[in-house]
Amino acid sequence: MPVRVPLAVGAARAAAHLTGLVHHRGTAIPGLVAQKIWPEALLSLGGQLERTVVVVGTNGKTTTAGLIAHLIGHGGAQPIANRSGANLRQGLVTTLVGASDLHGRIGHSHDARRDGVFEVDELALAQVLPDLGPTVIVATNLFRDQLDRYGEADVIVAHWAAALEHAAPGSRFVYCADDPRLAMLAGAIDVPTMTFGLKDAPADRPETDPLHRATIDPVACRTCGRPLVYSWRSVGHLGDFRCPEGHIRRARPDVSVVPLGPVDRHGLMGDGPAGVATVRIETATGSAVARPRIDGLPNAYNVAAAVAAAAALKMDPLAATAALDGAGGAFGRLERIAIGDRILVLVLVKNTVSLDETARFGPILEAEVTLMALNDAPADGRDVSWIWDAPIAPLVAARHVVLTGTRAEDLALRLKYDPAVTRSPPRSVRTEGNVEAALDVALAQAPAGGTIVAVATYTAMMGLRAIAETRGGVAPIPR
Amino acid sequence: MTGIVMPTRLRLVHLFPDVLRFYGDGGNVDTLVARAAARSIELTVIPVPIDATTIPPADIVLVGGGQDAEQVTVALALERLGRQLTDLVAEGTALLAVCGGYQNLGRRYRTSSGTELPCPGLLPVSTDGVGAVSRLVGPVVARLSAELPVGAAGTVVGFENHRGRTTLDPGARAFATIEIGHGNDDRDGTEGVLLLPGEGGLRGLRIGTYLHGPLLPRNPHIADAVLAAAVAQGAGFAELAPIDDRLDWRAHDHAVERIRHSARDGRGIPGRVRRAMNPVRSLIGY
C-alpha cells in the first residue's frame, strides 16, 4: 500500500519532533514508530544506499564511525550516519527516515546515491545485517562490558559469528588484529578480511603483570583452551598474542599504526577535543602521517580502523590517512566544553578498559577538579562492579573530587578502600546526588580558567552535556 | 569471643586472580585489607596464579568469578590444588567464594555445554548449567542467615549474574534468604551457602555466594565476619573493635532502599501494562 510509506515517514517525523521537545535521547522512538507502520523500512531505505559501512565493537564505535564518515565525506557528499549513537535497529531507521523524502526515497536523482555509515550495538548486528547488506563491517574490539545485559564476551562472539554468516556477497570484515577474540572469530567465518592494529609494542606502557591488573581479560585459545601468551600488550587484552600450543597467533595487520605522541594537549580553548595527536599509518605500499584532533592509544586504534575501512572501500589508505588531519572526535568522548571561563572535559566511561584508559590519560589533562558521575540505568549497565577493576587513583590524586550519580556512594567507597588513593589522596571529596548541583560545586572549586575533568557513564554524560548546552557551552548533539 | 590474642599479621590468598576476577573481586580484597589495617592488623595479599603448584598457608582464601570457559581451566587447577585448599580450611582458614568460585568449589558442577567438571566438594552444593534457558541477572536484597554473627543488620545487598542453578545439599544452610532477586536456583528462595567454623568437620568459616558488586564494600558486616573468623583461627569469631562505617552503611542502606523501591514500583503496575511499556522503557533507559 503506497500510502503506508508517507504515513510512516510522517509519523516518524512527528515523533521526532515530539520526543525532541521532551527528551534529549528520543532518537530511537521515531524509528520504532516508522517500523510499526512500515516493517520493510530498513530494507527499503538501506537498499538505496551506494556503500554501507557498519561499525560494531565495545569501545570506539562512535569515534571510528565518525572518522569513516569524515573520510567518505572528504571526497564528496556527506554519508548518512547515526551520529547521535542510537545504534539499535530502530535508531538506524530513525536516521534513514530523517534522510529520506516523504515517499521513502533517499537522494532525489538516481545518479547520486548516498553512502551510509552506522555504528551498531553489539547484540543488534544480526538484526540489521540482512536488511542493510553492508559493504564493510568493522569490528573495533571486544571487551568485557555490561555483563548484566550481554552476559559474557563469548556470547557476543557467537552472536557476531552467526550474524556474519549472512553477510552480503562481496562484503569485507575489517577487524583489530591485536584482539585475539576477533582473530579467532575471523578464522571461523568465511568472509574476506582486512586488519588493523599497532605496528609494535606501545611505548607508553611497560608489560604489566596480569596477576595485578584486573583490566586484562583472560582469553583462552579456542582450540586447546590454554591461556594465550603475549610478547606485548596494549589496551586491555589487546596485544601481540599467541597460543602456547601454536594454534593461533597475531597476524601482522594490513594497516598498522604508530602513535607518535601528542601535538598539543593544552592549547585548545573553547569547543573542540582535548588534544591533537600525530600518528603514522603504514601499509604494504608505504606510510603516511595524520594529525587528528583526538589523542591517546585507543584513538590511535580508531584511526587505524577508519583507514582500514577506507582501504576495504577501495580508497587509497595513505590518501585517507592524510585526509584525517584535523578530524575530530565524537561528543562526550574527551570533549572540551567552555562553561563561562572554566573548561569542562567530558569523558565517557562505560567499562573497565575505558576507565583504565581514562585513568592513564586523566593526569595529562592537568585539571584542578575531577567530577565522577556513576549512574546505573540500563544504558549505563545496572552492575557497576567494573569500577573496582580499573585503577582510579591517577584521576583523583591532589585534585578536588566531586562524586555524583545514582551510585555516587559506590564511588565514595571505591575511593575509601583503594590503597593507591590512600597513598595519593584527593585534596577534597564531596558527594552530591544531583548531577547539576555536582557540576556547580565542581565549577566553583575550579579556579578562573581552570579545568574540570568529568568522568561519566552514558546517561550521566548525556545529562552533563545537556546542562552544558543550556549554559551555552556547546551545541546540541546532531540527530 | 574472649581469650583470643589479636594477631598483628594475617595472610590472604587471592586464588587465581589471573583467571577469576570479573565483577570487581579486587574490591573485596581491598576492603578486607583496609578493615584489618583499621584494627592494626597487617593483612598481606598473596595472589596465587592458575598454574601454581601449591597454595601457601593463609588465614583467608578468596575466590572470585569468571566466564564459563575459564571455569574449565579453574576446575583443572582445582584437581591439582583442591586437596591443599581443603586442608587449609580444615585447619581454620576462612573461605569466601563468589560466583564462579562458588560453583567451582561445590560437589558437582555441570557447565552449560554439559561438561561435568571435577569439584573438590568444599561447599555442600551442586550446580547445573544445562537446560538453564536464561541467566539470572539483577540486583539482590537478601536476609542473612541468623547464624552469622553480624549484629543487628541482617541484610545483604549485591548483584547476581549467573547461568548455573545451584542446589543446596539436604541439611545445608543458605548464606541468605532472598527478598528481591533470584538466588541459588531461582526457586527455593535461598542464596549462597554458609558453614560456620567447625561445621562439616572443617574448622574454617565457609561462605559461597552469587553476590558481587563487589560484595564486601557495601556489606561491611560480612567483611568483618570473615575477618573475625580469620582472627579466631577456627575457634569461632573474634570480637573486632568498631570502626567508622558510616560511609559503608549509607551505601548499604541507600542500595537496599533503591532496590526495594524499584521492586515495589514493578509490583504496583499490572503485568500487562508493564509488559506493554517495556519497549518504551528500554528505549528511554528507565
Mean pLDDT value of segment A444-469: 94
Pairing label, strands B42-48, B9-15: parallel
pLDDT for residue A2 is more than 70: no
Q: Do A227 and B47 touch (CB under 8 A)?
A: no
Closest by Cβ to A378, choosing from B24, B254, B285: B285
Closest by Cβ to B69, choosing from A32, A154, A212: A154
Residue of A nearest to B250 (CA): A409
pLDDT for residue A271 is more than 50: no
Residue of B nearest to A422 (CA): B34
- How many residues are recorded in chain A? 479
Closest by Cβ to A385, choosing from B24, B30, B163: B24
Least confident range of A122-126, B65-69, B144-148: B65-69
Least confident range of A17-21, A108-112, B152-156: A108-112
pLDDT for residue A339 is more than 50: yes
Name the band, by pLDDT with cuts 50, 70 and 90, for residue A14. Answer: confident
Contact A1, A65 (CB under 8 A): no
CA distance A411 to chain B (A): 10
Name the band, by pLDDT with cuts 50, 70 and 90, for residue A286. Answer: very high
Contact B96, B63 (CB under 8 A): yes
Residue of B nearest to A388 (CA): B24
Mean pLDDT value of segment B35-43: 97
Does B254 qualify as catalytic in the annotation?
Answer: no
A353 phi and psi, to 5 degrees? -65, -40
Closest CA to A145 of A350, A390, A333: A350
**pLDDT given for residue A250 in this prediction:** 97
User: How many A-B residue pairs are in contact by the CB < 8 A criterion?
Assistant: 121
Does B119 qualify as catalytic in the annotation?
Answer: no
Name the band, by pLDDT with cuts 50, 70 and 90, for residue A474. Answer: confident
Residues sharing a CB contact under 8 Å with residue A236, sequence separation 6 or more, in sequence order: A141, A143, A215, A216, A217, A352, A353, A356
Closest by Cβ to A218, choosing from B70, B250, B279: B70
pLDDT for residue A26 is more than 70: no
**pLDDT given for residue B103 in this prediction:** 95
In chain A, the N- to C-terminal Cα span, in Å, equals: 29
Residue of B nearest to A390 (CA): B24
Is the ipTM higher than 0.95? The answer is no
**pLDDT given for residue B276 in this prediction:** 54
Measured between alpha carbons, how far is B24 from A419 in angstroms, rounded to an integer?
Answer: 15
Which tens digits make up the pLDDT trace of A352-377? 999 999 988 877 778 999 999 999 99
- A28 interface with B at CB cutoff 8 Å: yes
**pLDDT given for residue A347 in this prediction:** 93
**pLDDT given for residue A111 in this prediction:** 58
Q: Do A152 and B72 touch (CB under 8 A)?
A: no
Closest CA to A115 of A180, A182, A48: A48
Residues sharing a CB contact under 8 Å with residue B109, sequence separation 6 or more, in sequence order: B71, B75, B103, B116, B117, B119, B126, B127, B129, B164
Name the band, by pLDDT with cuts 50, 70 and 90, for residue B283. Answer: very low
Residues sharing a CB contact under 8 Å with residue A31, sequence separation 6 or more, in sequence order: A12, A41, A86, A89, A90, A91, A92, A93, A94, A95, A97
Type of residue numbered A477: I
In a mutagenesis test of the B interface, which of A123, A385, A421 is the best target, namely the one with the most B β-carbons within 10 Å? A385
pTM of the model: 0.90
Name the band, by pLDDT with cuts 50, 70 and 90, for residue B7. Answer: confident
**pLDDT given for residue A147 in this prediction:** 72
Pairing label, strands B176-180, B190-191: antiparallel
CB neighbour burial string for A322-339, b if at least 16 within 10 angstroms, e if fewer: ebbeebbbbbbbbbbbbb
Supply the Cα-derived Rg of chain B in whole angstroms.
19
Residue of A nearest to B253 (CA): A409
Q: Do A154 and B212 touch (CB under 8 A)?
A: no
Q: Is A244 exposed, middle or buried (0-12, 13-18, 19+ CB in 10 A)?
A: exposed
> Which grid coordinates belong to A287?
606510510
Catalytic entry in B14, B162, B182, B212: B212
Q: Do B283 and A90 touch (CB under 8 A)?
A: yes
**pLDDT given for residue A25 in this prediction:** 54
pLDDT for residue A298 is more than 70: yes
Name the band, by pLDDT with cuts 50, 70 and 90, for residue A108. Answer: low
Name the band, by pLDDT with cuts 50, 70 and 90, for residue A251. Answer: very high
> Which grid coordinates belong to B36?
584489618
Least confident range of A271-275, B56-60, B163-167: A271-275
Q: Do B24 and A389 touch (CB under 8 A)?
A: yes
Closest CA to A305 of A149, A177, A116, A159: A177
Which tens digits make up the pLDDT trace of B226-263? 999 999 999 999 999 999 999 999 999 999 999 999 88
- A87 interface with B at CB cutoff 8 Å: no
Closest CA to A458 of A363, A346, A356: A346
Name the band, by pLDDT with cuts 50, 70 and 90, for residue A212. Answer: low
**pLDDT given for residue B273 in this prediction:** 55
Partners of B284 on chain A (C-beta within 8 Å) are 23, 25-26
Residue of A nearest to B249 (CA): A409
> Which grid coordinates belong to B218?
557495601
Measured between alpha carbons, how far is A387 from A466 in angstroms, rounded to an integer?
Answer: 24
Closest by Cβ to B285, choosing from A377, A419, A422: A377
**pLDDT given for residue A219 in this prediction:** 87
Looking at chain B from residue 74 to 133, which residues have their Cβ under 8 Å from any Cβ of chain A? none
**pLDDT given for residue B28 in this prediction:** 96
Q: Do A388 and B214 touch (CB under 8 A)?
A: yes
Q: Do A385 and B66 touch (CB under 8 A)?
A: no
Q: Do A214 and B21 touch (CB under 8 A)?
A: yes
Least confident range of A144-153, A167-176, A186-195, A328-337: A144-153
Kindly report the number of other CB atoms within 10 A of residue B63's CB atom: 28
**pLDDT given for residue A208 in this prediction:** 62
Type of residue numbered A240: D
Catalytic entry in B99, B182, B221, B252: B99
Name the band, by pLDDT with cuts 50, 70 and 90, for residue B277. Answer: low
Mean pLDDT value of segment A175-203: 95
CA distance B196 to chain A (A): 27
Q: Do A385 and B27 touch (CB under 8 A)?
A: yes
Name the band, by pLDDT with cuts 50, 70 and 90, for residue A161. Answer: very high
pLDDT for residue A473 is more than 80: no
DSSP A411: H
Dihedral angle of Cα B53, B55, B61, B64, to the nearest 10 degrees: -10
Q: Do B159 and A382 touch (CB under 8 A)?
A: yes
Sign, CA dihedral A107-A113-A119-A123, equals positive
Most confident by average pLDDT, B28-32, B114-118, B129-133, B269-273:
B28-32
Q: Cα A390 to chain center, whole Å?
A: 18
- A220 interface with B at CB cutoff 8 Å: yes
Kindly report the number of other CB atoms within 10 A of residue B164's CB atom: 26
Name the band, by pLDDT with cuts 50, 70 and 90, for residue A134. Answer: confident
Express as a percent the part of chain B with pLDDT over 90: 74
- B187 interface with A at CB cutoff 8 Å: no
Measured between alpha carbons, how far is A300 from A260 in angstroms, rounded to an integer?
Answer: 10
pLDDT for residue B95 is more than 70: yes
Closest by Cβ to A388, choosing from B17, B26, B255: B26
Q: Is A22 exposed, middle or buried (0-12, 13-18, 19+ CB in 10 A)?
A: exposed
> Which grid coordinates belong to A322?
592524510
CA distance B162 to chain A (A): 9
Block residue for cell numbers 581443603? B86
pLDDT for residue A288 is more than 90: yes
Q: Do B72 and A389 touch (CB under 8 A)?
A: no
Closest by Cβ to B24, choosing from A212, A227, A386: A386
- A191 interface with B at CB cutoff 8 Å: no
Measured between alpha carbons, how far is B47 from A433 in angstroms, rounded to an integer?
Answer: 37
pLDDT for residue A479 is more than 70: no
Q: Measured between alpha carbons, how far is residue B138 from residues A162, B161, B212, B257, B283 in Å?
A: 27, 7, 11, 15, 19
Mean pLDDT value of segment A118-136: 91
Least confident range of A217-221, A308-312, B44-48: A217-221
**pLDDT given for residue A328 in this prediction:** 80
**pLDDT given for residue A7 in this prediction:** 87
Residue of A nearest to B162 (CA): A151
- B255 interface with A at CB cutoff 8 Å: yes
CB neighbour burial string for A277-316, b if at least 16 within 10 angstroms, e if fewer: bbbbbbbeeeebebbbbbbbbbbbbbbbbbbbbbbbbebe
Name the band, by pLDDT with cuts 50, 70 and 90, for residue A22. Answer: low
What value does the mean pLDDT of chain B take? Answer: 89
pLDDT for residue B17 is more than 80: yes
Q: Do B251 and A378 touch (CB under 8 A)?
A: no
pLDDT for residue A401 is more than 50: yes
Closest CA to A84 of A16, A1, A153: A16
